[in-house]
Structure 1
């Protein structure tokens, strides 16, 4: 028969202590650690049926009658270290947990009959506001403790951060990531750099290839040395990785600060996601880091042009050497004069050449930055309107299948920048005149000409105390015979126009914000799809006096963009005018306007 249990010899733990000891991260607990004795309370101890493999030896070393906890066990669970006499038949001869215990054991009565033993109870948990979670946790390893102290120190408002120019929220996110892993170093193991370090640092050194600015971050080529060195290097590398990836994904410039009519929103990566991806990528950490830059081919083409432009700059070492000759006096008339003038930029040509590539480089960088605002997945088939290029293209499976000239908004009434999906088109549309046009343009004309609305065929009504004006379908309709609809907050769309002469202009910024499309029925055939039975002639056959709705077989992504520099299909760099001044503002925000 099993030896009687001496309840007075057991150690007791509070339910809160068990929760903290058992539910914590593995780095904070030691396997087989005995839980300190506590005063009995009210919560009964749960019993485990089996001991996890690997803990048996550790448990066997614990004093008899000790309640044992380990990291990773279900919250509120304990192990009982029994005497060798308690070992079940076939159990551990050294005295281990009885794996058959599934409920509190019984104690013999004086009459030889078993009776339920007194309940094992633990004290009620103290109020949450008086609990120090670290009071029940084993101490952190020295390196973890040093990392925790460094992160806590730089969280203070008066701390001058030596690790780099992360903002407060970014620093907090980095600290939270370390806290979730019990402040273990991220980039080293047992004092040796992890495989990700070399690859990640090589990419960080080449941040300028993508126009990113990491000059404020210290260079720490190796993660080795004292705990203090390891801590500083680990945090500095984490900061640099986060800064690179967040800049690469669009954190440097707020599009809405450039203009309230820019609705594009960069998909800025979260610090925890960045660190989790890069720190687990092995020797591909650099590629993983680079992957936070825009994936579009147009961005990569600009990146390559930037590298090409920088290579073409003639370094001082390759400047023309001075031919031998006598000292020049009284002016530059000798044979060496042209070379000397070029070296000193006295003829102005060299200086102008340097200034021109600098301006082009800044323009490329500003456009690369605007690519960070675009959706990462723009769709293999899509519509793109590039405002400075005055053109709309239809792309199918990554290939341009249709180009149309467009008229875009004036400088005073810019076309908004955003992405959405085209869902349907309307043949014979009404034009519901925007209130801004009624107020600024129509009412002054109505004052001078009371027949203005009637003469031009507008329909007017008072709705809710406001004047509403619309133009019915017809040849004179401002939207022409067809308009292409995609929901947006700006009430703009693509449409036809009766003012076709404007398409012959080289610079076509004349609208109130909508985008007027040249050859709109050919455009309609492309977006609807000839394969779906929609030819240009069939769409034109819907022309009449009544609005006709035609839905696209599949909604098509529409991206209204603003790129003043791009690489065309032949590989040539194209430059366009900054008609709204957005590129100038982005360059100023990036410090490129000097």
Structure 2
């Protein structure tokens, strides 16, 4: 074939129905095993576009380039990229590179549902129809630009997510790592197209495990789900009968129990219930009560929704989280230290209460230091919203907390007429000195941020025995703060326990800098996996995932249900 670019070709075989020249067949490309639909459409279009014959020579090339230039005029995201290549085509040529690019793109678009993205958002079948219908240089130029725009949309979606998180849920204060479109396109043009498109999605092990979980749940849905829902009956060790059989069958379908014909709640079935409870954030007692039953009765569709939301959330954090980092999963009520991809420390946590003004936000920052024997500088919202009303009734209320002026000097309560102030004009601050009863406990961990959120100890230890631990004003309380401190200090102290305890024993407020600051990520996952690949679920404590799922559904994300 002549060595001209796409501007010089038409589609005679489409018009005449003649057999294509074998020399022009689309190049063989690897195809993921799950990619089967649209094969019959992608191959013909590759052949069709591969047999274009040159007509009118350079004049057609000029018409094509002029049409491309006009199509991208004023479009800051596309014009520079096309201008840099002299407005030549990217996708619609008959050369091997263009064929490989469009085949790789159409294949990726047809497989978008593997990432929880709606294929309809990119409409690969529609693109193929338009490509087949393109006759003139102007038509082909318009298609080239359209394919580029679809490519950039898909790249953004699969790499950084479809949604703007803060617009869906205000307390998701996450800076999504968006890539520059021009750089994305330039990198694509320099790379193997199949490898590049496959490499757009997050490379984290979690994302890969979520993809597999999505596929497994879809297969379970296609097979009819997990069976009948459980009745209201309580089930415990030694029970037998129809309710136990229903429980047994559902746990087998979910993968918590090996196939068995036993109709008795014996050791194996109790162990399966305990495994289910552990993987769903429930109190692990082996008894099916109201809470466990409610989670057992959740449908495959509900769980699939959680996984699809988790995949979108994982795309929002498609960035380097740090070789060592702290991960706080709000729905799991936990804080962990991750070293080189493996969990090295875990402790239970208490998060912000469920009322809107106390919920813990989601964001990432960097922990710089800890404070041993901290003072609690009471936030203004708590001073005027909680303590001022108490002080109006009794000036000696909250006596463990000092009243201070703007310079931090203590002011006698007897000198203040609290009744003359309201939340707008109260001129004083409040501070609780270091003590065992301090609201922050005996250590706090700071990653300075505009939300005034940090991790800390607490004297209210009993709350860690609860299953649902949303009680704070927004900060994250740790069940084992000393051990957490030791783990952090181990990177810079030979004797982290002795170092910490010696500062604690002074009773004085002491700041300890971290020589290597540690990234902190406050996330919210109702579906996640462990290092063994097992899928876990948690309740949507702040109902944020419900809002995200609704937003994804508006963008076209849907669960494929088996035909009835």
TM-score (norm 2): 0.66
Give matches, 1:422-461, under 5 Å: 422-453=367-398, 455-461=399-405
Q: Secondary structure at the match of 2:468?
A: coil
| Equivalent position SS for 1:252 | coil
1:398 is matched with 341
Paired residue secondary structure (2:512): strand
Alignment of 1:267 with 2:177, yes or no, is: yes
Contact 1:201 1:286 in 2 (8 A): no
Alignment of 1:518-537 (within 5 A): 518-529=479-490, 532-537=493-498
Structure 2 unmatched ranges of 5 or more: 6-56, 225-294, 408-424, 560-564
Aligned to 2:110: 205
Query: 1:144–1:183: 8 Å Cα contact kept in structure 2?
Result: no
Name 2:213's counterpart in structure 1: 305
Q: 1:228 to 1:315 in 2, by over 3 A?
A: farther
1:534 deviates by: 3.8
RMSD: 3.0
Change (3 A) 1:277 1:154: closer
CA contact (8 A) 1:445 1:452 kept: yes
1:433-582 matched pairs, under 5 angstroms? 433-453=378-398, 455-462=399-406, 466-529=427-490, 532-543=493-504, 544-582=506-544
Name the counterpart of 2:87.
Answer: 183
1:356 aligns with 2:260: no
Is 1:371 aligned to residue 322 of structure 2?
Answer: no
Alpha-carbon deviation of 1:575?
A: 1.1
Residues 1:151 and 1:211: Cα distance change in structure 2 (over 3 Å):
farther
**Partner residue in 1 for 2:64:** 146
Alignment of 1:192-231 (within 5 A): 193-216=98-121, 217-219=123-125, 220-221=127-128, 226=135, 227-228=137-138, 230-231=140-141
Measured in 2, the distance between the counterparts of 1:228 and 1:152 equals 10
For residues 198-253 of structure 1, give each alpha carbon's deviation from its aligned partner in whole angstroms, at most 9, with x where no partner exists.
Answer: 22322221111111234143434597874355334423321221111011233521
The 2-side partners of 1:205 and 1:581 are apart by 32
Aligned-pair distance for 1:266? 1.1
CA distance in structure 1 between the aligned counterparts of 2:169 and 2:119, rounded to whole angstroms: 26
Q: Is the 8 A contact 2:104 2:197 kept in 1?
A: no
Give the whole-Å Cα distance in 2 for the aligned partners of 1:189 and 1:593.
Answer: 35
C-alpha distance 201-424 of structure 1, shift in aligned 2 (>3 A) = same
Tell me if the contact between 2:69 and 2:79 (Cα under 8 Å) persists in the aligned partners.
yes
C-alpha distance after superposition, 1:482-531 (max 9, x if no partner): 00111111111100001111111111110001110111111101011166
1:553: Cα distance to partner? 2.5
Give the 3 Å change call, closer, same or farther, for CA 361–435 of structure 1 in structure 2.
Answer: same
SS in structure 2 opposite 1:527? helix
TM-fit CA distance, 1:144? 5.0
Structure 1: segments with no counterpart, 5+ residues? 1-26, 28-138, 156-168, 317-351
| Native 8 Å contact 2:363 2:521 kept in 1 | yes
Distance in 2 between residues matched to 1:558 and 1:263, nearest whole Å: 14
User: Residue 287 of structure 1 corresponds to which residue in structure 2?
Assistant: 195
Match of 1:385 among 328, 334, 345: 328
Larger relative contact order (C-alpha < 8 A, sep ≥ 6)?
A: 2
- Superposed counterparts of 1:77-156, under 5 Å: 142-146=60-64, 148-149=66-67, 152=70
Higher helix residue share? 2
Deviation, structure 1 residue 142: 2.6
Question: Between Structure 1 and Structure 2, whose CA radius of gyration is higher?
Answer: 1
CA contact (8 A) 1:250 1:268 kept: yes
Is residue 72–residue 79 contact of structure 2 (8 Å, CA) maintained in 1? no
Query: Are 1:249 and 1:266, in contact at CA under 8 Å, matched by a contact in 2?
Result: no
TM-score by length of 1: 0.63
Q: Is the 8 A contact 1:241 1:274 kept in 2?
A: no
Q: Residues 214 and 244 of structure 1 are in contact (CA less than 8 Å); yes or no, is this contact kept in structure 2?
A: no
Give the number of aligned pairs.
405
The question of whether the paired residues in 2 share the 8 Å contact of 1:446 and 1:452 is answered with yes
Match of 1:41 in 2: none
CA pair 510-213 structure 1, distance change in 2 beyond 3 A: same
Q: Distance in 2 between matches of 1:428 and 1:140?
A: 79
Change (3 A) 1:186 1:231: same
| CA–CA distance in structure 1, aligned partners of residues 349 and 428 of structure 2 | 31
Among 162, 169, 179, the residue aligned to 1:252: 162
Change over 3 Å in CA distance of 1:202–1:144 after alignment to 2: farther
User: Deviations 1:434-471 (Å, cap 9, x if unpaired)?
Assistant: 00001111011111211114x22424325697211110
Structure 2 CA distance for partners of 1:154 and 1:215, relative to 1, 3 Å? farther
Structure 1 residues 583 and 395, CA, compared in 2 at 3 Å: closer, same or farther?
A: same
* Separation in structure 2 between the aligned mates of residue 437 and residue 153 of structure 1, nearest angstrom: 57
In structure 2, how many angstroms separate the alpha carbons of the residues matched to 1:355 and 1:409? 26
